[in-house]
């Protein structure tokens, strides 16, 4: 099978390419150039492209660099800025998977005659009864199924995730045994286009940041923030609150006013879902709900686009991705309304 492997310059995609090569596939590596200049955090830096190219040379496979910068700007960066301007909490890594890695790259793979696309994500694709399932990785601490919840049957049928069955330690051991230059490379943790200047520096050149007042639920002013666009539901720090008091959390952001309250006031019974996608068929009934990439799954019931938590849970920021699981299987997901 002809497989195009998306090589990010990290150890996971490096080992994914090696595993597919060992399995007898005709493997070609590619790296997507998404963001101009050299990032000093996250993935997609110039150094990452060089690492991917050199690993491909070590493995003896072809390697190409695809410039998808315009697609990345339109599908990831611009929506990220727009979401912050609208007071929502975006997840750019999910949108990168949705619009670039599993859309734009797929179209390029089709045009070049590849049978499948592989990545180094820690998750598993399993065929059962003629249907495709997306499951959590063997290594629960490294599981990335949350950021892949938008994948559908047609995409999963031609997607390979070779490292999802391996603990991360074994991935590194295999890379070391092969002498790959990425064996000890740290994992990327940050958004690729946000450098050391942080969100405020990035967004301040792209939208007008608005100072805001922080009030309690009685309306009394208790603090100030430099930019309401950088405040998210559930936030506790950076609100200009006096120290030593009971912890207070962001309950709501309306205009230039941020309302804070106690942890009990942060709790809700349900959340509405928008922009829902399903891996296979729609699910109604008992699910586990995950509201961040490494968040603790919460028992809930989903019906008609509404998630009802089994017990009161911290409210989810509008725009944040909510992923629904049945056991270790991804059912689908959407955005908090």
SS (H, E, C) 78-113: HHHHHHHHCCCCCCHHHHHHHHHHHHHHHHHHHHCC
Same domain membership, residue 169 and residue 30: yes
Residue 6 maps to a domain: yes
Does 172 map to a domain?
A: yes
Whether residues 114 and 239 share a domain: the answer is no
Does some domain include residue 129? no
The yes-or-no answer on residue 96 being catalytic is: yes
* Structural domain includes residue 282: yes
The CATH number covering residue 165 comes to 3.40.50.620
Verify that 172 and 294 share a domain, yes or no: no
What is the tally of structural domains in the chain?
3
Residues 275 and 295 in one domain: yes
Out of 261, 291, 325, a domain closes at: 261
Range of the domain at 328: 267-336
Outline where 179-254 has alpha helix (H). Answer: 198-204
Of 240, 261, 282, the domain-final residue: 261
Closest among 79, 24, 19, 85 to 55, alpha carbons compared: 19
Q: Are residues 255 and 271 in the same domain?
A: no
Which residues are within 8 A (CB) of 177 and not within 5 positions of it... i.e. 6 or more apart?
none
Q: Indicate if 14 and 111 belong to the same structural domain.
A: yes
d(CA 3, CA 290): 31
The pLDDT of residue 48 is 87
pLDDT on residue 36: 66
Both 67 and 173 in a single domain? yes
The CATH number of residue 230's host domain is: 2.30.30
pLDDT at 193: 82
Q: What is the mean pLDDT of each run of 10 residues along the chain (337 residues)?
A: 96 98 98 72 72 97 96 96 95 95 97 98 96 98 97 98 98 97 86 79 93 95 94 92 85 96 97 97 97 95 96 96 98 97
The answer on 301 and 234 residing in a single domain is no
Q: Are residues 166 and 56 in the same domain?
A: yes
Residue 137 lies in a domain: no
pLDDT at 40: 46
Within-domain flag for 323: yes
**Catalytic residue, candidates 30, 44, 192, 291:** 192
d(CA 122, CA 156): 14
pLDDT of residue 61: 98
Same domain for 38 and 73, yes or no, is yes
Q: Which of 30, 44, 93, 96 is catalytic?
A: 96
């Amino acid at each position: 099978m002809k497989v195009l492997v998306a090589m990010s310059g990290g150890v996971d995609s490096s080992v994914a390419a090696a595993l597919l090569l060992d399995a007898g596939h005709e493997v070609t590596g590619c790296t997507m150039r998404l963001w101009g200049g050299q990032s000093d955090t996250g993935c997609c830096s110039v150094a990452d492209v060089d690492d991917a190219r050199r690993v491909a040379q070590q493995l003896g496979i072809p390697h190409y660099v695809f410039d998808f910068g315009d697609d990345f700007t339109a599908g990831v960066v611009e929506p990220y800025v727009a979401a912050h301007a609208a007071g929502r909490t975006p997840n750019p890594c999910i949108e990168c998977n949705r619009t670039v890695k599993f859309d734009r790259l797929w179209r390029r793979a089709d045009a070049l005659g590849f049978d499948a696309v592989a990545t180094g994500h820690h998750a598993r694709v399993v065929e059962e009864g003629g249907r495709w399932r997306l499951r959590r990785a063997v290594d629960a601490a490294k599981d990335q199924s949350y950021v892949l919840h938008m994948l559908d049957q047609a995409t999963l049928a031609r997607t390979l995730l070779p490292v999802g069955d391996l603990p991360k330690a074994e991935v590194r051991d295999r890379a070391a045994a092969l002498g790959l230059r990425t064996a000890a490379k740290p994992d990327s943790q940050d958004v690729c286009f946000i450098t050391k200047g942080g969100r405020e520096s990035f967004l301040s050149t792209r939208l007008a940041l608005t100072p805001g007042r922080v009030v309690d639920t009685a309306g009394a002013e208790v603090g100030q923030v430099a930019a309401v666009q950088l405040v998210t539901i559930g936030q506790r720090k950076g609100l200009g609150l006096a120290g030593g008091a009971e912890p207070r959390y962001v309950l709501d952001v309306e205009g230039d006013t941020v309302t804070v309250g106690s942890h009990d006031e942060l709790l809700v019974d349900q959340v509405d879902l928008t922009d829902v996608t399903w891996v296979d068929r729609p699910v109604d009934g008992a699910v586990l709900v995950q509201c961040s990439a490494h968040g603790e799954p919460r028992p809930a019931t989903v019906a008609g686009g509404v998630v009802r938590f089994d017990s009161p849970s911290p409210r989810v920021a509008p725009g944040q991705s909510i992923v629904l699981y049945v056991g270790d299987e991804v059912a689908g997901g959407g955005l908090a309304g």
